[in-house]
Amino acid sequence: MTTLPCPLPQVEEALRPYIHARQETLRIRKKLAQHLQSQIYRTVRQQGAESTSPITPLTLACAPPSLLPEHDQTSSASAPPPPPPPELTGLRKQYWDAVQAHALAKRRRDALHSELNELQREAHAARAAAAQAGSATDMAPNPFSPVVGSSSAGGGSGNTGSSHHDVEDYVALLRQRRRHARLQILLDALDRIADAQPDDDPLRRDDLRQWVKDKLGDAPVPPPEIAGGGNTAAGDASASAAAAADQTKEHVLRLKKELLLAKQSLDAETLRRAVAAGTTASSQGIEAQVRALRAARDELITWIEDELAKMPEGDETMLSGAATPQRQEKRDEKDAAADDDDVEAIQEQVDVLYDRYVAARTSLIAAVDAAATAAKELSVPSTLPAGPTQQGDDGEAAGQKQFRLPPSATLPFIPALLRSANDERILAQQTATYLRHQIAAAQEDARNTAQRLASESHLVGPDAESGGAWARAAREATKETDEAVLERVRAGEANVEGAKAIVAELDRRKEEFRALKGEA
C-alpha cells in the first residue's frame, strides 16, 4: 500500500522521526507493553476465576484492582474515584465513569464478602464455644434429669442426642433473651412518652428527634450480646441512620416540588380549557341559533303540508266559506276590545318597518345596477365560446340581440359567486405556492448541477454558479480553437504552396531533361 505524500513539507519533516511502518510500530508497542508489565506488580487472586486485565491506556487511567498492590486495594475500597483525565471527553468520559463505578462496586463487593466471611467465622467459633459449654454442662450431674440405663452403648447414644438438643435449647433461650431485652427497651421508651406532659404536643414540633432526646435522654446502650458488634458497628448504624434521615428529607422536598409543579400545570391547563370553551361557545352561539330556527321552520312546513294533505278536496269550499264569518267575528271582537291608540301605534310601527324594507331594497338594487354599469364600461371581452349561429336572416337577427337580465335576478347567485371567488383565490394561492416551490427546486438543481460541472471542468473555476461564466469560458475556448485552427490552416496552406512550388520545379527540370535528350 503506497503512502500519499504530505502536502506540507515542513510538517512531514517534523513528524518524520515519529512515523514508522506497521511492523515497526507493532514491535515498539510490544516492547513497551512488556516493559510496563515487568514494572507493575500484579496481584494473584485466590479464586483464580478472574483473569488479569489487559494493558491499555484506559486500564492504566482507571487503575483496575488487578494492577494495584495489596495496600492500594485495601485503601481504595472506600475512597472516592479519582477525577477523569482532562483529555477524555464525550463518550470516552462516560465510559471512563462507568468503568470507575464498576471498579468501585467490585471493591465494595469484595469488602462485603470479606466481612461476611469474617462474620461467618465468628459465628462458627461462637457455636463451637457454645457446643463445648453445653457438653461440659451435660457431663456434670443433673438432679432433675432422669436416670439412664447402665448399658454403655445406649448411654453413649443418649448423651450425644441430649447434648445436641440442649445446645439448640440454649441458643433459642439466648435469642429469646435478646428479643425480650429489645422489647423491654421499647416499652420503657413508650412509657416515658406516655408520662410526658400532654400539652407539649410532639407533632407540632419541627424536630421530633431533638424533642424525644430532650425528654428521654440519650438512647440506652444495648448489652454486648445484643449489639453483636463493637463501637464501629454503632458508629456505622448512627451514620447510616443520619444518612437515611437526610435522604428522606431530600425525597420529601423533591416530592413537594413535584406536587407544586403538577398543581401549577393543572391550573394552567384548566384555565386554557375554560378560555377555549368560552371562545368556542361564543363563536358557535349564532350558528346554533340559526340551525335551531331553520330546523323549527322545516318542522312547521312539514306539519302544515301533512295537515293540508289530510284535508279532503270537497271541504275546501266549506272551509273557505266558513272561515269568513269566523274571521269577521274575531276581528270584530278584537276591534271592540282593543283601544284606538294601540291600533295607531301598531300601524305606525308597520309603516316604519315597511319603509325601511323598501329603502333597503332600493339601495340594494341601485348597488347592483351600479356594479353592472361599471362592468359594462370596462367592456371586457367574453371568454365564453360563441354558440352555434343559425342560418338565415332570423338567426343573424337573434344573434345580434343579447338577452339581458335585471340586476335583481343575480341576487340568489351571490353566495355561490362568493364561494366560487373564494375557491378561485385559494386555488390561485395554492398554484402560486406550488409553482414557487417548483421554481425554487429547479433553481437549486440547476445550481447544484452547475457547481458539480464547474468542479469537474477545467474551463471555469469551482465557484462558477451562473451560465455567464460558462458563456465567457465557451467564447474564450472558441476563440482559442479558432486561432489554433486558423494557424493550422495557414500552415497547411503554406505547405501546399511549397509542395506546388516543388512540383512545378520538378516539372520544369523534367522538361529540361527531355529537351537535353532531344538535342542529344
| 424-432 average pLDDT score | 92
Long-range contacts of 380-387 (CB under 8 A, 24+ apart): none
pLDDT, position 152 = 39
Q: Render pLDDT for 348-357 as a digit per residue (tens, 0 to 9).
A: 888 888 888 8
In a domain, 114, yes or no: yes
The amino acid that residue 337 corresponds to is A
Say if residues 61 and 96 touch (Cβ distance below 8 Å). yes
- pLDDT for residue 330: 53
pLDDT average, residue stretch 145-153: 40
Q: Alpha-carbon torsion 516, 518, 519, 520, what sign?
A: positive
CB 448 within 8 A of CB 454: no
Same domain membership, residue 4 and residue 114: yes
pLDDT value for 90: 83
Model confidence pLDDT, tens digit, residues 14-39: 888 888 888 988 998 888 888 777 76
**C-alpha to C-alpha distance for 418 and 429, rounded to whole angstroms:** 16
Cβ partners under 8 Å of residue 233, min gap 6: 227
Q: Residue 47: its pLDDT value, please?
A: 40
Q: Provide φ and ψ at 210, rounded to 5°.
A: -65, -35
Specify the DSSP class assigned to residue 66.
Answer: G
For the chain, how are helix, strand and coil distributed in percent, rounded to 5? 80, 0, 20
- Residue 128: its H or E element: helix 91-139
Q: Are residues 5 and 117 in the same domain?
A: yes
pLDDT at 434 over 60: yes
Task: Retrieve residue 146's grid coordinates.
Answer: 432422669
Q: Which residue has the cell 492504566?
A: 60
For the residues 313-329, what does the mean pLDDT come to?
A: 47
Say whether both 165 and 175 belong to one domain.
Answer: yes
Which residue, 178, 201, 229, sits at the end of a domain?
Answer: 229
Residue 506 reports pLDDT greater than 80:
yes
Question: Which residue would you say has higher pLDDT here, 397 or 505?
Answer: 505
d(CA 26, CA 20): 10
Match 434521615 to its residue by C-alpha cell.
245
Average pLDDT, the chain: 72
- In the structure grid, which three cell numbers stand for residue 329, read together? 267575528
Predicted confidence at residue 487, as pLDDT, reads: 93
Q: Which three cell numbers stand for residue 366?
A: 341601485
Distance CA 91, CA 73 (A): 27
Minimum mean pLDDT among 141-145, 212-216, 455-459: which range? Answer: 141-145
Better pLDDT: 138 or 441: 441
501 belongs to a structural domain: yes
**How much of the chain, in percent, has pLDDT values that exceed 90?**
9
Q: Is 303 among the domain residues?
A: no
- Residue 156 in domain: no
Q: Are 81 and 101 in contact (CB under 8 A)?
A: yes
- pLDDT higher than 70, residue 72: no
| Rounded Cα distance, 322 and 315, in Å | 10
Whole-angstrom Cα distance, residue 79 to residue 72?
Answer: 10
Mean pLDDT in residue range 380-405: 49
Distance CA 133, CA 127 (A): 10
Provide the number of structural domains found in the chain.
Answer: 5
Do residue 61 and residue 87 come from a single domain?
yes
Instruction: Give whole-number Cα distances, 460 to 79, 443, 457, 465, in Å.
Output: 68, 20, 6, 10
Task: Identify the residue with better confidence: 375 or 110.
Answer: 110
Distances (CA, A) of 476 to 50, 407, 479, 484: 77, 69, 5, 12
Higher-pLDDT residue of 55, 113: 113
Residue at 39 is within a domain = yes
pLDDT value at residue 263: 82
On whether the CB atoms of residues 96 and 84 are closer than 8 A, the answer is yes
**pLDDT score of 220:** 60
Pull the grid cell for residue 432: 402560486
Query: Do 449 and 337 lie in a common domain?
Result: no
**Does one domain contain both 504 and 454?**
no
Q: pLDDT at position 49, please?
A: 41
Answer yes or no: are the C-beta atoms of 110 and 68 closer than 8 Å: no
Task: Please indicate, yes or no, whether residues 186 and 98 belong to a single structural domain of this protein.
Answer: no
| Residue 276 located in a structural domain | no
Confirm whether 414 is domain-assigned: no
Q: Assess whether pLDDT exceeds 80 at residue 423.
A: yes
Residues 93-117, mean pLDDT to the nearest whole number: 87
Question: Cβ-count burial of 180 within 10 angstroms (0-12 exposed, 13-18 middle, 19+ buried)?
Answer: exposed
Are both 98 and 170 inside the same structural domain?
no
Q: Are residues 119 and 39 in the same domain?
A: yes
Confirm if 338 and 346 have CB atoms less than 8 A apart.
Answer: no
Global confidence as pTM: 0.22
Same domain, 81 and 106: yes
pLDDT at 338: 53
Alpha carbons 55 and 63: distance in angstroms, whole number: 10
Q: What is the mean pLDDT of residues 72-79?
A: 52
Residue 491, CB-side half-sphere exposure with 13 Å CA sphere: 6
Q: What is the pLDDT of residue 486?
A: 93
Q: Is residue 10 part of a domain?
A: yes
Residue bearing the bigger pLDDT, 417 or 81: 417
What pLDDT does residue 321 have?
Answer: 46
Give me the mean pLDDT over the 340-361 stretch.
80
Q: Express each pLDDT in 218-253 by its tens digit.
A: 666 555 544 444 444 445 566 677 777 788 888 888
Q: Go through the chain and tell me how many residues it has.
A: 520
Q: Are 487 and 451 in a shared domain?
A: no
What residue numbers bound the domain in which 500 lies?
466-519
Both 179 and 112 in one domain: the answer is no
Mean pLDDT of 256-276: 84
Backbone region of residue 31 per phi and psi (left: phi > 0; alpha: psi in -120 to 50; beta: other values): alpha
Please say if the pLDDT value at position 401 is more than 60.
no
